[in-house]
Chain A
Amino acid sequence: MRRRVVVLAVLAAILSVVAVAAVIFPDYFRLLRPSVLKQLDPRVVKLVNELPGVDRQNQELLGRLFALGGLAEAKEGPDGVMRVDVRAPKGELIWEPAIIVMPRSGELEVDLSNDDPYVHHAAIFPSNGDKQFVMLPIHSRGRARVTLDSPGYYWFDCPVGNHGGRGMLGLILVRGDVPAEARLDRPEQPRP
């Protein structure tokens, strides 16, 4: 009887921890979906397993392997502009998130904050017309409005020192297709 109580208590504790953790860290639990698990590339798993420090400053490498940071999807506002917040956290030399996803081509507004007391930052963003430059002194906030009109991926960077090389190199992923009138007059073709 006593043994059964202990087992049940341990199980209850585990379930409680899992439930609490699922609320606090939902992204970890979403990784357990079958649709994600089946795409796990053993080479990528090996990188994270054997070199977990590539996602930290001055551990496996000198800086952080770029684009290993988080990802955020820009949300479209009623005015049709997509928006996303990006910050430079304290002492990490990273963008958070490092990957911005635009669901389609269009205008993107990036709200930037520099929470890093170690050093000032700046941002260079791709944009039709001209690249956009935003200065980011310590404990400051800035905003860039950019236009990207083609599916594919683009880069953004902190041009101060070698912050880009240390990890402040981010990506903007633009999803979608070219307009229908630009496509070739042929039947659907097989894709990889």
Chain B
Amino acid sequence: MNTSDPRRPYVRPMAGWWRRNPFFVEYMVHEATALFVAAYALVLLVGLRRLAQGEAAWNGWLEALRSPVSLVFHGVLLAAFAYHCWTWFRIMPRTMPPLIFGGKRVAPGVITACGVAATTACSLVVLILAWGATR
């Protein structure tokens, strides 16, 4: 509260703001999925370090990846990534200048769908390449 102002305007506190509205809760959840992206980057970074340490270390890392805990963790990561990707493309139409195609504005839903489709296609290509490389 501002006591120096004779009109005594009341300033409400912001503590816990994100719990006040389901929209904000969802925002915090989808922002938090970025932590899972960071976690996976760490997993890959550890792999790179193990690779530099020699064949035994590398094989040990591969072995660790095959453990049940690791598999469950990767399942969770995949789900978080998928949600992260969806929310990223969902907001994308709001973040870019109008896209004019054939004299008309491209609808937000189309932009989101194209983004998700591109991600799905890229993921499949990576999956196929990795599958081929490890056969």
Q: Do A and B bind each other?
A: no
- Name B residues whose Cβ lies closer than 8 Å to a Cβ of A: none
- Name A residues whose Cβ lies closer than 8 Å to a Cβ of B: none
